[in-house]
Structure 1
């Protein structure tokens, strides 16, 4: 059982560093990691409990005394996952009392069986017990530091920042670390209260900071947050943490050397192999953890701050060699029509529905992934800069009006023709609006793809399709990140209407072309049929028909039409990002980074967040022409800016 526990630890340390990144396997990795996370503690506790209940005459192998402390070490868990979810951090008192109990059990087992063990085994077990206590203590301490109360208090800590300025930082890690310290209060559900004269803090000059650089900074900041909430890395990348790790590695290495010195030829080969495997496995975990620490965002920042020439020279090269390409590389895609109109194949859907009434498995299997392209980042970054410019022109007023725009400003640009479509983003709830425009985007895309084979190669067409499918993915599988509504019911009814309208994708394409040819009375009949339930299918088709008519009405080309659709989806995305709570953004990190979280944090960098309040200077200070300054090297004074 001890070997099984070691195997679980090796698997956890690998998967723990893997789950931060989103891709097509992230849900599977998350589920497998959750299973092993629970199984690891249960297995170690079960083995210790079995030894506790055993009598001396039942235990004939003296090496049990030596193996038991390794279970204590395994209960400390791997460095890459201390908490599976945020709720685990809140349960740190339970883990603390569990640590006290398990340490007591390990010591009792040690005292209970030392009469049957040889003196070398008795003394070799002591360093392993010390290492186990250190590792277990690190786990409880990291859970305590990441708990909501302690996390909020850390915002008001007296930790001093680096004397480097953000604009002149020598590395992205240093720049991102300073910005993370500034925006960390939002994840603690606190507001930033900033003088209007300091609005430059929330400016990202497009001439100096490119879209790629801006998203990279956000990626690193989220890496800091993830490690702080779910791993041991922030407490290990300290002077005390490094000293403790050196002690742990030294103790285990010395124990291994002592074992080879005192091992006897007549000892069981199996016992020798198990003992060596446990010690070599523990040493491997320590060394591999150190490499993971160095290639983490905290490790990069720590290396940048060292004055040691060896670390500054060797460290970055080691990190570049071991650190994988990170960041938001892909985003989920979910097409409602692909889900509703799949190829007719024999499947076990009927059986699965007995255990999965919401068909989450089916939704997940119909989820695709696409790369987050540079053109998408540039489009979003430019759009947010435009919003920032509008916000500054109003002297930082009417922020709520700017963030509540779901696309009405885009449609108003059409003039009088917008009245027939404006209701879809003004008079209905957000999930209804999202479904309407997703159906409309799908219908227009398929219709254009039939007419113009190369339409999917156009930039705004690609952007519109990607954003539409991503927002539908959020509605399908991450509804907590969207404003509340009856999206699940509307989705089911919309799928039913789409299935009744066309049995498969080929019939759907033919039916859509027929729908465009109907007169207004016939289309109204279908829309009323959908409204009798909660379907948005036929209303979405009507919007699609109106969008297609814009080409002839305004003598647009297809790119102008898709530009309008892309701008509307950008407003939908920013609205959802602004409405989602920051705690939900942090919670979602346990399943992998979401693109909407990157957008929300990028909006905060531009001051486009309700958690950031721009306030004027007090009159007394205005009278004396007081000019407030914001020093990045005095982040410990950040509390004076909090509301």
Structure 2
């Protein structure tokens, strides 16, 4: 009983102080660690940020309630008869400092600049935050009112009220602007009725009745084509300057940010973008895409749109000054009546608020937005231009720290730390392999005791998918030559996509374009085509995934082959495992095209596990076991189609993939991997273009995906159905003549 009594007393004494400091700690975690979620897809980092994001608002709200209850208790004790006068004065001072803490919680509810929403769905809750703004400001005001007018700290408290309300309004307004419905409406252009058709036709009819030779001529928009040509001519050459890359990325962000809400664009915008990217090297193109996606991320998940404006700068300066002045006033006030611990906590809150605002200011100053706005600002006098050039050079050094480190150039320890702190996305591809999964998860011999125990525990908690992600998903560094290969393949297709119908046909192709419009066309193409056009996309993906694995593990590298063929072999393996990861572990990425992919995957795994259980697989390493397993699958007689033997109840495609692999093995080594590598790029681009735009945007906050880069590159190359507006003519002119 004494232990419970002591615990209760300790809680009553330290609850307000503890929760106020806990709220400040959560704000520090969010402002420092929130940017890491766009740089890594690791679950524990995302989980830490998610917990801090959820608990931060609760901690601030709960602290306001505790302060209000504490003031109520103080007021009731002071109203009791025979209450000691000195104790009453101490209680009054304590109530004053509690009222001074309440506006800090408004600052915390306003949240840091680095995160306003954890997920896209949070932006739709802006109205709830508006109601929260009203209720929390009212609660904090009531806390302050209970100590007024005898409050010795009323002036700094009012100043903090101003700062807290500003921060809370900023967050609510940022959520409002990032709401996809509002964002879509803000991107819509003014309604264009076009030339007055009725009036022109009236004049046309009257001229015809008068038997005058009349015709209607469309007049092109002035200088549209010349502007595109001038822009392309000026921007030729490599983007060695990172600041220049930011300028181009910002330009295309302003044009194409409507992609995330499925808006359509003009062919002029397509031509301008395509002309720019066709002249870029793959590395420069990737750099521009990474910066452009970073702009999209910050618009949707941070306060950057609200803060990065003259009005935002002014309001933020007022907020910062209010906190600094409050600190100065508190420093000068006589603190004899305050407890030392409360004074220390107050200083911690004040310096913490200033430090967080200063960090936010530095992050904003050294951001892509600042680099873009400085370059786009009008030229002024010599001194201002000199300052701008100096700051841009400083920004250029900072932006160089954000350059991607391609997988083949492994960095030092310092280099790895630099990547984690400054990179723009995760710079890796997740890998998930069906045969490896079946060998490790399905057979007890290869699973191990501890793995079996943990698997059972997670299964009982209905968290098997989470366990599979941890146990069987690996990461592969994203290599420059892989991106170059993807870029070249899409660039070739863009050169053929002058007509909208051709562009749509290319985007809808999921392998047939490679076999029909390529040097790889052979007598066996019709047999391969069956595994593309006659099956669903998810079925085709699993078929080609298993066939790729069977070919990869059962044939040694041809020493006579060139480097390009060897690279293509590796590309097939990487893209194959990456696409299966998306299908199984990221179903939202494939929701528009996946169909019953998970059922096929499960049935295929069940058949594979049953097959492996009957075989005796030997090997010290899993890779050796995997090679044996692939050879055993290929040794199975497949003269009769599996459906003719098994029926169609099971959706397994294990031995259908075996038949496909045997057909591929009939091709010459170079041709085999040439067909398969381009096939996988086409499957990747199909999935990227058919994934919902808001899903691409959602994954930007989880480290990003290669499919999002491919989706944006395809849009810039004009590959897709987004370009439907013809802006080639500004008006019509009625010509009357002989």
Quick check: TM above 0.5? yes
Of 46, 53, 58, the match for 2:74: 58
Over 3 Å counting, the alpha-carbon distance change for 1:231 and 1:619 in structure 2 is closer
Query: Do structure 1's residue 171 and structure 2's residue 277 form an aligned pair?
Result: no
> 2:148·2:154 contact (CA, 8 Å) conserved in 1?
yes
> 2:270·2:716 contact (CA, 8 Å) conserved in 1?
no
Query: Do structure 1's residue 141 and structure 2's residue 173 form an aligned pair?
Result: yes
For residues 95-142 of structure 1, the C-alpha deviation after alignment (integer angstroms, 9 at most, x for no partner) is 11110110011111001123664x2x2222111111000000000010
In structure 2, the residue matched to 1:553 is: none
Over 3 Å counting, the alpha-carbon distance change for 1:234 and 1:205 in structure 2 is closer
Aligned-residue offset at 1:411: 3.3
Aligned-residue offset at 1:427: 1.0
For residues 447-503 of structure 1, the C-alpha deviation after alignment (integer angstroms, 9 at most, x for no partner) is 125998999992101111111111111112211211140111111112222222225
Aligned-residue offset at 1:265: 5.6
Query: Do structure 1's residue 463 and structure 2's residue 495 form an aligned pair?
Result: no
Of 583, 594, 605, the match for 1:495: 605
> 2:107·2:168 contact (CA, 8 Å) conserved in 1?
yes
Aligned-residue offset at 1:604: 0.4
In structure 1, the residue matched to 2:406 is: none
Distance in structure 2 (CA, Å) of the matches to 1:201 and 1:461 = 35
Aligned-residue offset at 1:380: 0.8
> 2:67·2:99 contact (CA, 8 Å) conserved in 1?
no
In structure 2, the residue matched to 1:537 is: 654
Aligned-residue offset at 1:205: 5.7
Distance in structure 1 (CA, Å) of the matches to 2:149 and 2:730 = 80
Query: Do structure 1's residue 131 and structure 2's residue 163 form an aligned pair?
Result: yes
Aligned-residue offset at 1:263: 4.6
Report the structure number with the largest CA radius of gyration. 2
In structure 2, the residue matched to 1:335 is: 433
Of 666, 673, 676, the match for 1:565: 676
In structure 1, the residue matched to 2:488 is: 382
Over 3 Å counting, the alpha-carbon distance change for 1:243 and 1:55 in structure 2 is closer
> 1:56·1:113 contact (CA, 8 Å) conserved in 2?
no
Aligned-residue offset at 1:194: 2.6
Of 425, 450, 458, the match for 2:532: 425
Which aligned pairs between 1:431-470 and structure 2 lie closer than 5 A? 431-449=538-556, 458-470=566-578
Distance in structure 2 (CA, Å) of the matches to 1:429 and 1:101 = 53
Query: Do structure 1's residue 31 and structure 2's residue 135 form an aligned pair?
Result: no
For residues 561-583 of structure 1, the C-alpha deviation after alignment (integer angstroms, 9 at most, x for no partner) is 21211100011011111111212
Tell me, what secondary structure is at the counterpart of 2:718? coil
Distance in structure 1 (CA, Å) of the matches to 2:678 and 2:72 = 75
For residues 145-180 of structure 1, the C-alpha deviation after alignment (integer angstroms, 9 at most, x for no partner) is 11123212221479xxxx998544771122111111
In structure 1, the residue matched to 2:353 is: 282
> 1:527·1:539 contact (CA, 8 Å) conserved in 2?
no
What TM-score does the superposition give when structure 2 sets the normalisation length? 0.76
- When structure 1 is superposed on structure 2, of 342-351 and 406-415 the one drifting more is 406-415
Distance in structure 2 (CA, Å) of the matches to 1:305 and 1:380 = 32
Query: Do structure 1's residue 262 and structure 2's residue 262 form an aligned pair?
Result: no
The alignment covers a number of residue pairs equal to: 605
Aligned-residue offset at 1:284: 1.0
Distance in structure 2 (CA, Å) of the matches to 1:157 and 1:216 = 29
Which aligned pairs between 1:244-255 and structure 2 lie closer than 5 A? 244-255=315-326
Tell me, what secondary structure is at the counterpart of 2:492? helix
Aligned-residue offset at 1:532: 4.1
In structure 2, the residue matched to 1:637 is: none
Query: Do structure 1's residue 585 and structure 2's residue 696 form an aligned pair?
Result: yes
Query: Do structure 1's residue 320 and structure 2's residue 423 form an aligned pair?
Result: no
In structure 1, the residue matched to 2:254 is: 181
Aligned-residue offset at 1:619: 12
For residues 64-103 of structure 1, the C-alpha deviation after alignment (integer angstroms, 9 at most, x for no partner) is 1111110010000111110111111111111111101100
- When structure 1 is superposed on structure 2, of 52-61 and 611-620 the one drifting more is 611-620
Tell me, what secondary structure is at the counterpart of 1:332? strand
Over 3 Å counting, the alpha-carbon distance change for 1:53 and 1:620 in structure 2 is closer
Query: Do structure 1's residue 368 and structure 2's residue 471 form an aligned pair?
Result: no
> For structure 1, which runs of at least 5 residues remain unmatched after alignment?
551-555, 625-643
Over 3 Å counting, the alpha-carbon distance change for 1:152 and 1:508 in structure 2 is closer
Distance in structure 2 (CA, Å) of the matches to 1:405 and 1:79 = 42
Over 3 Å counting, the alpha-carbon distance change for 1:172 and 1:622 in structure 2 is farther
Aligned-residue offset at 1:530: 8.5
Aligned-residue offset at 1:318: 5.1
Distance in structure 2 (CA, Å) of the matches to 1:80 and 1:334 = 32
In structure 2, the residue matched to 1:345 is: 448
Over 3 Å counting, the alpha-carbon distance change for 1:305 and 1:279 in structure 2 is farther
Distance in structure 2 (CA, Å) of the matches to 1:531 and 1:126 = 73
Over 3 Å counting, the alpha-carbon distance change for 1:58 and 1:528 in structure 2 is farther
Tell me, what secondary structure is at the counterpart of 1:512? helix
What TM-score does the superposition give when structure 1 sets the normalisation length? 0.87
Aligned-residue offset at 1:442: 1.1
Distance in structure 2 (CA, Å) of the matches to 1:263 and 1:181 = 54
Distance in structure 1 (CA, Å) of the matches to 2:731 and 2:27 = 61
Over 3 Å counting, the alpha-carbon distance change for 1:186 and 1:450 in structure 2 is closer
Distance in structure 2 (CA, Å) of the matches to 1:69 and 1:418 = 71
Query: Do structure 1's residue 411 and structure 2's residue 518 form an aligned pair?
Result: no
Query: Do structure 1's residue 76 and structure 2's residue 76 form an aligned pair?
Result: no
> 1:455·1:461 contact (CA, 8 Å) conserved in 2?
no
Aligned-residue offset at 1:311: 4.5
Distance in structure 2 (CA, Å) of the matches to 1:527 and 1:565 = 27
For residues 35-84 of structure 1, the C-alpha deviation after alignment (integer angstroms, 9 at most, x for no partner) is 21111111111111223344544373231111111001000011111011
Over 3 Å counting, the alpha-carbon distance change for 1:116 and 1:442 in structure 2 is farther
Aligned-residue offset at 1:319: 6.4
Tell me, what secondary structure is at the counterpart of 2:497? helix
Query: Do structure 1's residue 474 and structure 2's residue 585 form an aligned pair?
Result: no
Distance in structure 2 (CA, Å) of the matches to 1:319 and 1:3 = 38
Which aligned pairs between 1:91-110 and structure 2 lie closer than 5 A? 91-110=125-144
Cα RMSD after superposing both structures: 2.9
> 1:82·1:142 contact (CA, 8 Å) conserved in 2?
yes
> 1:219·1:328 contact (CA, 8 Å) conserved in 2?
no
Distance in structure 2 (CA, Å) of the matches to 1:297 and 1:51 = 41
> 1:70·1:132 contact (CA, 8 Å) conserved in 2?
yes
Over 3 Å counting, the alpha-carbon distance change for 1:454 and 1:203 in structure 2 is closer
Query: Do structure 1's residue 6 and structure 2's residue 24 form an aligned pair?
Result: yes
Aligned-residue offset at 1:312: 4.1
Distance in structure 1 (CA, Å) of the matches to 2:733 and 2:670 = 50
Over 3 Å counting, the alpha-carbon distance change for 1:511 and 1:217 in structure 2 is closer
> For structure 2, which runs of at least 5 residues remain unmatched after alignment?
1-18, 76-90, 191-226, 236-242, 403-421, 441-445
Over 3 Å counting, the alpha-carbon distance change for 1:511 and 1:337 in structure 2 is closer
> 2:271·2:718 contact (CA, 8 Å) conserved in 1?
no
Of 593, 615, 634, the match for 1:516: 634
Tell me, what secondary structure is at the counterpart of 1:613? strand
Aligned-residue offset at 1:310: 2.9
